[in-house]
Each structure stands twice: as structure tokens, then as C-alpha cells.
Amino acid sequence: MNIIYERFCLWLGHLKLSRVIILVSVILFVVPLFTHYYLSKYESMSISQGDNALRYNLEAFSDISTKNVADLKVRIEEMLRIKASVSTELRELEAKRGRLQREAAAASSKADNAKAEYVRAAAELQRLRVSADQARLAQLEAIRRDSPELAPPIQIVPLQPPSILPSLSPSNEINCRMFSCFDHSRCSLTSSFPVYLYDPDIYTPLTGAEVDGFLKTTLRQTLGYNAHLTHNPNEACIYLIIVGESFPFTKDTTTVSDSYKLYLNGSAITTLPYWGGDGRNHVLLNLARRDLSVGSGDAFRGASTGRAMLAQSTFTHNHFRPGFDVITPPALGPPGGDVWADCAPISPARRKYLLSFQGLQPPPKGLDKDQDGTLISLLEKMVKTAPASDVFFLQFECDPPVEKRVTLPIGDWALCGTDRSRRAVLRDSTFVLILAPADRNYVTTALLQARLYEALRSGAIPVVLGGDRIRLPYEEVLDWKRAVILLPKARVTEMHFLMRSFPDADLLALRRQGRVLWERYLSSVQASIDSLLATIRTRLHIPPKPVPHTVGLPAFNDSYFPPRVEPAAVDAEPEETLGPLEAPYSSPTYQRNFSVGLLHGYELWNEWGEPFALYPQLPWDPTVTSEARFLGSAAGFRPVGAGAGGSGREFSEALGGDRPREQFTIVILTYEREAVLAAALARLRGLPYLNKVVVVWNGPSSAGAGSWPESGAPVAVVRGSRNSLNNRFLPYQLIETEAVLCVDDDAHLRHDEIIFAFRVWREHRDQIVGFPGRYHAWDLNFNNGFLYNSNYSCELSMVLTGAAFVHRYYLWAYWRVLPAAMRDYVDEYMNCEDIAMNFLVAHITRKPPVKVTSRWTFRCPGCPVTLSADETHFHERHKCIQFFTQVMGYTPLLSTQFRADSVLFKTRIPHDKQKCFKFI
């Protein structure tokens, strides 16, 4: 019993203890929970409502003692401090997170830059590998080369005057030819053709006829400008003697008087100090300038001249020695200089008169009268039967009358009227009739040459009746069939039909070629003398003297050049290899010193119009056949894929094309914009195929002495002698490549654009190849000619030389072929030099320019004001086109609808292949 009681008490004690524990646990759990709930509520209300809300909540808990409230306030303040600390820590964590994010972004950017740098480095490594391969190939070619590099010929001349040889019998003089009467030993192929002029004041009187003072002065000046003139008679190839113009004829005026023969046959001409006994290598020149209307006879008819060549405008068939004597025009023009003002415009193709003629019929006595009398009646019948739309101007009697005896020596038709009146008729004539001399013994006469001169000057197309038996000036080198219609007199009845059959294009082609021949070879005494000497030199296959370069005045002396600095990174094509990096390689020069005249002599005289100088290269130099690049003539060529072809990768490793490797020179014209120039030089860094940069400093002040960015190629700075836009096209001796990229200092061009344009130019070497396209638009409002237009158009006719490739030859042609009046106009307006170059190239080639890529204009933010920003700029360019057209007689610009873009540009190709250019 006791045991049971004790266990019950023990159980009861445990039960009480459990209840106490449970009650205490509930109190300890619930009270903090309740307190936390209300404190949280209190905190939020205190933040939102301030102290008033706090007092309100405290009053709501009136059962809490004052002591508890004080403790609660302390705890609240403590929690606020904790909150502030947590907020500060959170802000610090947020700032740290921002820094980490920025660091992560910077690291990501750095990684991207590293990847891009890796790509650039890989591309650069590939270029260096290609460059090394190209260098090794060039080294092997240099080792295997078995011929030296050519240069201008070294002059080899004789050291002694002509030796004395027996004179030639008069009966054998008519048989003289170059092989029998000329001493070739005095004219080696490398002699440069030295010419010695006998002083007219000393030696001309010995020939029996005085030369007037004006002509003597003119000839001295003219020959003074000729590069072949020498003052050392011992080294001369030929000796030039000026013969007088007025000759004492016999009473029948058909032969030279006996007294004059004594001068030619006797001691006068044979006592010339370098006559050598027989007169070999001498040229007797008669310009027949005086008494042209009288019809001077053959100056040397019946006279003995030994082995000397004769040069004059009148010859008989029996006395003219083809290939030996030279037919020259009379001295009708000015001494030299620009002659554009004397020329008539080429257009319109058909003028007022279909055919014109002014002349006095020769008397029939002593002449062949089987045709000339009949010709007049046939021509008059042609006029009567022609349709009303064909207007003729045929004048067979002079007004005022001219004595008929003046034409007795040669039976020529005398000139009627004054030079001004004849010119007025010729300017209104589509064709002009020229009649061969009635005396069939004559192959050419001074009057016939005078009529030809006047016709070509006025743009009237000569129709020569009797052209099958007459000869024209320098016909052994000039193709007169491209400018003159030569007909037998028997064709007079069909002449009208023939003239009517010519379309406008052919009429304009004949007229243009006639003007070209007249300007370059007949227009002045200078042109005639140069043509005479060039004709004889061409016979001997001697090249002319090399064309002189322009020596640029360095902007810095030899002891100082601005220090170079590495430019900042510029936008490039990181994933595109454009070509190997090579050391400067100059274009081979003078490789055709002797072959160009033999192979392209016709073009030199009749198309290019420059037989007077030897050029390092020409745009028209031929290339080898395709298989020759691999069979015996592979030196210098860089075929794509070694000849197997390929896409972008193989394309970028080799220059390809049909010509040997080459580089280009950049010419930058600048005017006191050093910051702009520095940026332009920096953009050239790493540009493949760049040989040299020539900076033309046009400003009056000296170039700055600050640091210049490294362009990766030699930079030469030259100062212009004056501020002229023409300085852009000076043929500086610093330019050693055929390809010249003319660039404005503010033109922004990507490397791939430049390389693509260079590759296109290599296939169109005789044309301008570039970026900004323009065209000449007809003035619809006033019909006053063409206007300059820069709007976007489906046609273009000009590519501005502010960003264009041209051949180096055109730099010389700009100063030797282009009329000086056009260059003077450029200087006057400080404008239009690019238009002038487009006129020149189109005039020479009759081809339009080639535009590459879609670029049409350039922007230069931050650049100083340019010339093109002036509001008068476009108005002046309108005037330039109209003035240049007036000077040249026509507008040579030709329109094109063609633009060059890269092969494979929009072609879908496999993923493992590359396009030629990514963006072109």
C-alpha cells in the first residue's frame, strides 16, 4: 500500500513538473513571438508616421508598464542602429557588385580585344608569310635575271667632224636614199640625235638668198627649245642649214637662174665648214614663207646639192626623193605657243556649206589642160543638180581680180581674198575643195600646203582632187587618210555622192583628227621644226631624249625631318588580308627605249601625239600572252594561286592580272592643314602595295616641325613654287611607279577600297580610275553648253582626281599636251584641275573614266573650310567646262553607265572559301 502511494505521489510530482515546464515553455515562446509581432508593427508605423505614431501605439498598449516602454524604446533605437548598419553594408555590397560588374565588362572587352588582336595578328602573320614568300621569289628572279635593268640610253656620239669625201656627181643625186647617201656612223642608236644649226647670220647669205630677220630670230628660238640641239659640231648627227626664201627665177619663171645655181653648185655651199665634200648628213631647209601668193617654185630645181637632204614645201616628181627628202609646210603660223584661239569648234558636224572653194584658175598656157577646164563645168553642174538642202560656195574668180601670171611657175590655183575672208568661209564649210596643181610634174606646192593649213585650222575637211599624185607633209609618219579625203580627179562626178554618204560621227572624227594633226605638227614654226627633226630621227630608229622630270623643292632640308610617331589604331579590316607587305619596289623604266618606235611608231604620231620625248613607261605598253607567263617570261608575274586561280585567300596572296607586280605612289595635295594631313598619313599605315607618299605642300608657310605619324612607307614632302592646284599633277622625280593615286588630304578611303581601285586600274591603265563620279549635263535652259553636275546619276563622265588613280604619263601630258590656257584658267579660279585632267585623258584615249565601288562623295568632320564649300564653287565649274570646250574645240568627255565592283561580291560561296573583298 505504501508502495502504491509513493508511486502515485511520484507520478503526481512528475505531472506537476511537466505542467510547469510546459507552461514556462509556452510563455517563453509566445511572449517573444507576440512582442516581435507588435515591435515589427511598431517599427513600420514609426517609420511611416514618426513619433506621433509611436506614442499612439504605446498608448494602445496601456497594459505595458512604464519600465517596459523605456526598455522597448532602447531596443527600438538599437534595432534602428542595426538597420542603418545593415543598409550601409547593403550599399557597400551594391557598390562592390557594381565594381565587379564593371571589372567583368572590362575583362570581357579585354577578352574581345584580345580575340580581335589575335585575329589581326594572325592576319598580319599571314601577310608577313606572304611577304616573305614574295621576297624570296623576287630574290630568285633577281638571281636568274640574265639581262641588266634598262635606263635612259647613254649617249654615244662621234668626236670628229665629217671627213672629206669626193663630191657626188649631179646625175647620181636623184638616186640618193638613206642607205646610200647618209652616214649612219655619226648617228648611233644611243646618240640622242644631236642637231647642229649653222648660224643664219653667218652662213645663210652664202646660199644666195637672204632670210628675213623675223624668221631667223624665230628659228633660233624654236631650235633653242628643241632638246636635240647641240653647239658642238663634232658630235652632230645632222647639220641644219637655213636656205633663203626668195629665189631669182629665169624669164620663163620655171627654173632657178644660172646665177643662183652658181651659189648652190659653186663654192658657197661646198665651203660650209662641215660639208665634208659631199654634204652628207646635211639638211637644207626652205620654209617658203615670203610671196606665197606668187607660187614660189622649187628652190633646188636644177641645182646640185650633193648628198644633202632637202626640206621644203614644193617638189617635182623628178626631183623628190621618197624616204630621203622631207615635205614641210610653209612657215604660216606663229613662232610657237598656244594656238587654240585660231581654231574653229568641231561641232556641229554639218555646217552651212557642204563644199566650198575659192581660187583663181591657172592659165592653160604650158600646162596640162585636159582636166582643169572640165572640172569647173562638172562642179558647176553638180551645184545645179544638187538638192536645195546642199549649199555650195564655189568661187572660181577672185574679187578683186588677181593677175593670172602669178600662177605660171607651177599651175596652182591662186588664193583669193584675205586670210580673214577665207577663214570666214572655211568656218562655215563642212568640206573644202583642194585641187592638185595643173602641172603634173609637181608632187606638192607651197600653195597646196597653205590651203591644207587653212582648212585644218578652220575645221573644214579637205577633199583633195588629184590626191592620188600629190604628197602631204610628213606623210611617212602621219596618216593623212584619217583627216583628209584624197580622190583622183576622175572622181569629181562622184564626189557629191561620197560627201553625202559620211555620217555625223565620221565627219566629227575626220575634223577632230585634222585638228590634232594641225595643232601638234603644223600650227607653228616650233611645231614644224620639231616635226621635221622627229621625222628624220624616226627614220633612223633613234629614240628621243628622255622627258625631263620636275625636281621638287624639299620642304625639309637633308639634316632634318619631323620625327615619326606610331599612329593610333584606325578602323581596318581585321579579318581581311589585302596583300603582302613589301619593301618599296619601283616600276621598271625605259624597257622599250628602242622597241616602242618600231612597234608603236604609228600610234606615237597619230594617236598619242607624243613622238618628241622618251617616257619611262606608257599606258599602252603591251603585255605578254597568257602562256608566256609560265613559259619563259614568268619573271615579275604573280598569278593567283600560282596560276591555278582561287578565291579570297589565294587572291590576297598575289597581285594577279596580266602584268608583272607593281606598286603605287600616293600624291597628297595639302594647304596648311597639318592636323588633317597627319590623320591622312595615319590612315595609310599598313596599306599594301604602297611605294611612297609624296606630299605637295601648297601653303606659303613652311611645313610644321612637329611629330608626324608613321605611314608605313617613305614620305617625301615637296613645296610648290606657288600656290596652284596644278601642282597636283607635276611629274616629280620622286614618283617612281606607273600608278599614281591622287588624293585630297581630307579624303577618307578604306584600305580595301584603295587596293580594289588599284587592281582595277591595272586593267584600265590608260583611263582614270577612282571614286567620286560626276557628269556633264546639257544646259536645257539656255542651250549654252554643258554644266557641271554632281547629283547621283545612272551615267557619269568624270571621276574627280581628289581620289583617283592615273598613269604617270598623264602627269607629263598635263604640261606638254594640254593647252596652257586651261592651266592658266585653273590658276585664275583656283578650281577645276580635276576637270582639266578628265578632259585631257578623254581627249587622248577617247574613253570614259572608270568608277569603282559605290562611294560618291567624302565627308571630313572637323576639317577647315574647303574650296568646294564656297557657294561659287559649282558656278565656276560650269564655266570651266564651257571654257575648256572652247579651247579644245569640242567636249571630249564620254559618258559611261559602268561601275566596277568586286568579283564574288554578291555570290554565294562555300563556307570554307573567302570572297575577294568582304565589303566590295
What is the Cα–Cα distance from 15 to 20, expressed in whole angstroms? Answer: 9
SS3 252: coil
What is the Cα–Cα distance from 24 to 471, expressed in whole angstroms? Answer: 144
Confidence of residue 41 (pLDDT cuts 50, 70, 90): low
Residue 486, strand partner residues: 464
As a whole number, mean pLDDT of residues 203-208 equals 58
Domain range summary for the chain, segments of one domain joined by +: 2-144, 170-327, 340-523, 662-920
As a whole number, mean pLDDT of residues 432-441 equals 90
**Cβ-contact 711, 682 below 8 angstroms:** yes
pLDDT at 728 (0 to 100): 95
What is the Cα–Cα distance from 685 to 412, expressed in whole angstroms? Answer: 71
Confidence of residue 754 (pLDDT cuts 50, 70, 90): very high
SS3 readout for 772-792: CEEEEEECCCCCCCEEEECCC
What's at 223, amino acid-wise?
Answer: L
pLDDT at 778 (0 to 100): 93
Cell numbers describing residue 395: 568661187
Counting DSSP H helices and E strands in the chain, the numbers are 22, 26
Neighbouring CB atoms inside 10 A of 626's CB total: 11
pLDDT at 281 (0 to 100): 95
Contacts 24+ apart (CB under 8 A), 113-116: 116/574
SS3 435: strand
Asked whether residue 267 carries a pLDDT value surpassing 70, the answer given is no
pLDDT at 663 (0 to 100): 95
662-920 and 340-523 share a CATH fold: no
Strand duo 769-770 + 850-852: pairing: parallel
Confidence of residue 262 (pLDDT cuts 50, 70, 90): very low
| Strand (E) or helix (H) holding 230 | none
SS3 524: coil
Neighbouring CB atoms inside 10 A of 665's CB total: 26
pLDDT digits (tens, 9 = 90+) for 371-396: 567 888 899 899 999 999 999 999 98
Asked whether residue 541 carries a pLDDT value surpassing 80, the answer given is yes
Please indicate whether residue 93 or residue 364 has the higher confidence score (pLDDT). 93
Instruction: Measure the CA angle with vertex 547, ends 667 and 558; round to 5°.
Output: 50
Q: What are phi and psi of 183, to 5 degrees?
A: -95, 95
pLDDT at 450 (0 to 100): 92
pLDDT at 46 (0 to 100): 46
**Cβ-contact 492, 379 below 8 angstroms:** yes
Instruction: Measure the CA angle with vertex 776, ends 770 and 779; round to 5°.
Output: 165
The alpha carbon of 265 is separated from its chain's Cα centroid by a whole number of angstroms, namely 54
Give the residue among 677, 385, 698, 409 at the shortest CA–CA distance from 552: 698
pLDDT at 249 (0 to 100): 43
Fold exhibited by the domain 340-523: Rossmann fold (3.40.50)
- Residues contacting residue 760 through CB under 8 Å, at least 6 positions apart: 769, 850, 852, 900
pLDDT digits (tens, 9 = 90+) for 493-502: 999 999 999 9
Query: How far, in Å, are 352, 353, 431, 552 from residue 428 at the CA level?
Result: 5, 6, 9, 47
pLDDT digits (tens, 9 = 90+) for 106-129: 999 889 888 877 877 776 777 777
How long a stretch of residues is the chain? 920
Instruction: Measure the CA angle with vertex 215, ends 213 and 220; round to 5°.
Output: 95
Average pLDDT, rounded, for the chain? 83
What is the Cα–Cα distance from 742 to 805, expressed in whole angstroms? Answer: 6
What is the Cα–Cα distance from 500 to 477, expressed in whole angstroms? Answer: 30
pLDDT digits (tens, 9 = 90+) for 836-886: 999 999 999 999 999 998 877 766 555 555 555 566 888 899 999 999 999
pLDDT at 561 (0 to 100): 66
SS3 137: helix
Asked whether residue 669 carries a pLDDT value surpassing 60, the answer given is yes
**Cβ-contact 284, 243 below 8 angstroms:** yes
| Strand (E) or helix (H) holding 216 | helix 213-225
Confidence of residue 19 (pLDDT cuts 50, 70, 90): low
Confidence of residue 557 (pLDDT cuts 50, 70, 90): low
pLDDT at 700 (0 to 100): 76
pLDDT at 205 (0 to 100): 54
Strand duo 715-719 + 708-709: pairing: unpaired
Residue 400, preceding bond cis, omega within 30 degrees? yes
What's at 820, amino acid-wise?
Answer: A
pLDDT at 733 (0 to 100): 94
Asked whether residue 622 carries a pLDDT value surpassing 80, the answer given is yes
As a whole number, mean pLDDT of residues 214-237 equals 89
Largest CA distance in the chain: 198
DSSP 574-611: TT----------PPP--TTTTHHHHHHHHHHHHTS--T
What is the Cα–Cα distance from 534 to 542, expressed in whole angstroms? Answer: 9
Give the residue among 746, 743, 689, 684 at the shortest CA–CA distance from 710: 684
Strand positions, DSSP E, 404-559: 429-435, 442-444, 461-465, 485-487, 553-554
Q: What percent of the chain has pLDDT over 90?
A: 45
CA Rg value for the chain: 46
The pTM is what? 0.83
Strand positions, DSSP E, 301-440: 309-312, 315-316, 326-327, 353-358, 392-395, 429-435
Q: What percent of the chain has pLDDT over 70?
A: 80
pLDDT at 4 (0 to 100): 53
Query: How far, in Å, are 420, 456, 783 from residue 780 at the CA level?
Result: 34, 31, 6
- Residues contacting residue 570 through CB under 8 Å, at least 6 positions apart: 682, 683, 685
pLDDT at 574 (0 to 100): 53
pLDDT at 455 (0 to 100): 96
Asked whether residue 484 carries a pLDDT value surpassing 80, the answer given is yes
Cell numbers describing residue 139: 630574290
DSSP code for 552: P
As a whole number, mean pLDDT of residues 561-579 equals 65
CA within 13 Å, CB half, 38:
15
**Cβ-contact 834, 827 below 8 angstroms:** no
Strand positions, DSSP E, 101-254: 195-197, 238-242
Given 3.90.1150.10, 3.90.550.10, 3.90.1260.10, 3.40.50.1100, which CATH number is that of 662-920?
A: 3.90.550.10
What's at 189, amino acid-wise?
Answer: L
As a whole number, mean pLDDT of residues 414-434 equals 91
Confidence of residue 699 (pLDDT cuts 50, 70, 90): confident
DSSP 21-89: HHHHHHHHHHHHHHHHHHHHHHHHHHHHHHHHHHHHHHHHTTTS-HHHHHHHHHHHHHHHHHHHHHHHH
Residue 348, preceding bond cis, omega within 30 degrees? yes
As a whole number, mean pLDDT of residues 76-95 equals 88
As a whole number, mean pLDDT of residues 243-270 equals 53
- Residues contacting residue 454 through CB under 8 Å, at least 6 positions apart: 419, 422, 423, 426
Neighbouring CB atoms inside 10 A of 108's CB total: 10
pLDDT digits (tens, 9 = 90+) for 120-178: 777 677 777 777 877 787 778 777 766 666 667 778 888 888 888 888 888 888 999 99
pLDDT at 73 (0 to 100): 84
- Residues contacting residue 595 through CB under 8 Å, at least 6 positions apart: none
**Listed ranges 210-224, 265-279, 337-351, 405-419; the one with the highest mean pLDDT:** 337-351
Q: What are phi and psi of 607, to 5 degrees?
A: -120, -55
What's at 117, amino acid-wise?
Answer: E
Asked whether residue 919 carries a pLDDT value surpassing 50, the answer given is yes
Asked whether residue 673 carries a pLDDT value surpassing 90, the answer given is no
pLDDT at 65 (0 to 100): 57
As a whole number, mean pLDDT of residues 752-775 equals 95
What is the Cα–Cα distance from 450 to 328, expressed in whole angstroms? Answer: 11
What is the Cα–Cα distance from 304 to 302, expressed in whole angstroms? Answer: 7
Q: Which residues are catalytic?
A: 834
What is the Cα–Cα distance from 515 to 509, expressed in whole angstroms? Answer: 10
pLDDT at 59 (0 to 100): 53
